[in-house]
């Protein structure tokens, strides 16, 4: 087992480089946190929110879990959403999945991974809900990619149905929830056109996003 000394050395070099570029960077960073964005993404180490959106520390508030799932009983995720909406007053919440997600693949294929099987059951529910759309695809790789997309759309729906988001919209707070997906193959983010800015816009946005996926196969 390797030690962590290399990470500490790299941290020191990074901190010194940041100070060389901007002498007051850490002073400003320590005095405020005012991100406009909440990123709800997968824990996958290949999908770091700040780097792939080219944002600096302090610009995005982040919550990550396996397969970017939003569950109404998950107090960790709900606390992050509540903090971002009520205290930080973010303007955008992005649920961001990624193609090639191993958690989604395990749900699709029935591969057992251990304790996380219970968590990934939520993705399995998405697969069952949209079985006709997935079964229409002949290639396993295409079904995997489509379930990654469907999972994002369903998790955006879940975000919008939390009491936190519903209450904020009810009192007139302005922000939008978006569904994005990231490609590990070219580093690009695709907007899945699941964008909701008000409670009464949810159903229409959901149906439109699903229709957009179905139209790709025609």
Whether 54 sits among the annotated catalytic residues: the reply is no
Annotated catalytic residue: which of 10, 19, 28, 46? 46
Locate 108 and state its tokens.
């699709």
The Cα 21–Cα 78 span in angstroms is: 37
Annotated catalytic residue: which of 44, 122, 130, 143? 44
Q: Which of 155, 145, 147 is nearest to 196 (CA)?
A: 155
Whether 101 sits among the annotated catalytic residues: the reply is yes
Annotated catalytic residue: which of 63, 77, 98, 122? 98
Whether 44 sits among the annotated catalytic residues: the reply is yes
Whether 46 sits among the annotated catalytic residues: the reply is yes
Q: What are the angstrom distances between the C-alpha of 142 and each of 60, 94, 122, 152, 217?
A: 31, 24, 20, 16, 11
Whether 98 sits among the annotated catalytic residues: the reply is yes
Annotated catalytic residue: which of 77, 101, 148, 160? 101
Active site (catalytic) residues: 42, 44, 46, 98, 101
């Amino acid at each position: 087992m390797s030690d962590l000394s290399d990470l500490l050395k790299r941290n020191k070099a990074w901190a010194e480089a940041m100070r060389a570029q901007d002498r007051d960077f850490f002073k400003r960073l320590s005095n405020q946190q005012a991100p406009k964005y909440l990123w709800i993404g997968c824990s996958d180490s290949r999908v770091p929110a700040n780097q792939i959106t080219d944002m600096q520390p302090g610009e995005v508030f982040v919550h990550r879990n396996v397969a970017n799932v939003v569950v109404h009983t998950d107090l960790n995720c709900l606390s992050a959403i509540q903090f971002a909406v009520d205290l930080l007053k973010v303007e955008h919440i992005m649920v961001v999945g990624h193609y090639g997600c191993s958690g989604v693949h395990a749900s699709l294929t029935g591969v057992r991974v251990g304790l996380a099987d219970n968590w990934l059951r939520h993705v399995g529910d998405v697969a069952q809900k949209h079985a006709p759309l997935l079964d229409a695809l002949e290639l396993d790789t295409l079904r995997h990619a489509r379930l990654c997309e469907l999972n994002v759309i369903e998790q955006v729906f879940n975000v919008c149905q939390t009491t936190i988001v519903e209450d904020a919209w009810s009192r007139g707070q302005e922000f939008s929830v978006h569904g994005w997906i990231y490609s590990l193959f070219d580093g690009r983010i695709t907007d899945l056109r699941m964008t909701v800015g008000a409670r009464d816009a949810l159903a229409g946005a959901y149906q439109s996003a699903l229709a957009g996926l179905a139209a790709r196969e025609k």
